[in-house]
Amino acid sequence: MTKKSPAKNNAPTDVEPTPPALGPVMVGDVPMEIMNAVTSIKNREVQALQELGRLHIRQHELVNELKRLEGQAQGLLKSESTRLGIPDGAPWQLTPEGQAMVPPQIHEMMQAIQANGG
């Protein structure tokens, strides 16, 4: 029987291994049309974010305007209910035809107040 000798490493012993790269390593070139498309998309992203910012500001302005208008409407309705003699806190409606409507029990209360000189 013959003995097999262990496999020998054929690599030269005087060559040092290449150290790992410390930063990114180029693996190829990206075509200009891809670069242009990516740049275009990034620019559109910036524009969309800017538009969102403007819309957010506009939304805030509109909410404030709605609050102001609601306050004006409530003020007008309050002064009109006072003029009509509707008790504070009593339910009433304003019809599209411009008529102030109260439930029958509120109307009876209003008549009683007027009859007593109120």
What contacts 84, CB < 8 A, 6 or more positions away? 100
pTM score, whole prediction: 0.58
pLDDT given for residue 34 in this prediction? 98
R_g of the chain computed on alpha carbons: 42
Q: Is the pLDDT of residue 86 over 60?
A: yes
What is the domain partition of the chain in residue ranges?
Answer: 33-88+103-110
Degrees, nearest 5: CA angle 101-104-109: 100
> For residue 100, which of 85, 111, 112, 115 has the smallest C-alpha distance?
85
Residue 39 binned pLDDT confidence (cut-offs 50, 70, 90): very high
- Structure-block tokens of residue 61: 């302005």
Residue 45 binned pLDDT confidence (cut-offs 50, 70, 90): very high
**In whole angstroms, what is the distance from residue 108 CA to residue 87 CA?**
12
**In whole angstroms, what is the distance from residue 100 CA to residue 77 CA?**
10
